[in-house]
Structure 1
Amino acid sequence: MLDLNPRYVAMLHDLMARHLPAEVAVWAYGSRVNGNNHEGSDLDLVLRTPDLTALPGRLLSKFREALTDSNLPIFVDTHDWATLPASFHPRILARYEVVRPGAPAPAVPA
């Protein structure tokens, strides 16, 4: 279970809705999921596209900027699944919480 004040979870969801495409899933991992966090622990997030390819353009940096500029009182460490070393994936897969499931990518007209 994600150990984060519900008010901050709501703020995070608002930021995701405003700055990430609906198809991008967001998972939390690390100390706030594992239960070994403290009040000042950061929040570790990984963003995943439906096909697990890299996020488009400056999307990640713009989302990081929005998090920094927000009123969230903790640091949010955000990564793109596709650009993390593959050796790191099993650590996340061992214990994570889906913060936002994402949606299927929109169909491209033929």
Structure 2
Amino acid sequence: MADRLHLKPKHREVLEALLREHLPNVEIWAYGSRVSGRSHDGSDLDLVLRGPGLKEIPSDRLVDFEEAVRESSIPFVVEARDWARLPERFHREIERDHVVLEGQ
């Protein structure tokens, strides 16, 4: 299923390393244009972070991850959102079309 993710292998490797370092034990789903096939090279990457038990992820961990992404070689914006902080209507939309990037 991860083959549906429009992401160059070198950028995916960097992203996965940052996810493992900053957000261990968090399930990561990609969604949006890079999954639906409507993206271009400069499109942002939308991620939703699903913490253990679907509980909120501490804000400092999110900030650290976002800062690490900005300082990395990834040449596009990565938008990371905490599943526990999103409205239910977004859950349903994301569940319809996503790719599991890390985790289950």
| TM-score relative to the length of structure 1 | 0.87
| TM-score relative to the length of structure 2 | 0.92
Percent identity of paired positions between Structure 1 and Structure 2? 46
Count of residue correspondences: 101
Gaps of 5+ in 2: none
In structure 2, relative to structure 1, the CA distance for the partners of 1:57 and 1:75 (3 Å cut) is closer
Q: CA deviation at 1:57?
A: 4.2
CA distance in 2, matches of 1:44, 1:89: 13
User: Among 51, 61, 67, which residue is 2:53 paired with?
Assistant: 51
Give the aligned partner of residue 84 of structure 2: 82
Q: CA deviation at 1:17?
A: 1.5
Deviation digits for residues 17-49 of structure 1 (CA, Å, limit 9, x no counterpart): 11112x101110000000011121000001001
Q: Name the SS of the counterpart of 1:47 in structure 2.
A: strand
Q: Which runs of 4+ in 1 moved over 4 A?
A: none
Give the aligned partner of residue 18 of structure 2: 15
Matches within 5 A, 1:27-106: 27-101=29-103
Deviation digits for residues 56-93 of structure 1 (CA, Å, limit 9, x no counterpart): 24111111111111110111011000001111111100
Give the aligned partner of residue 6 of structure 2: 3
CA distance in 1, matches of 2:77, 2:84: 22
CA distance in 2, matches of 1:60, 1:37: 25
Task: Identify, as 1 or 2, the structure richer in helix.
Answer: 2
CA distance in 1, matches of 2:79, 2:43: 11
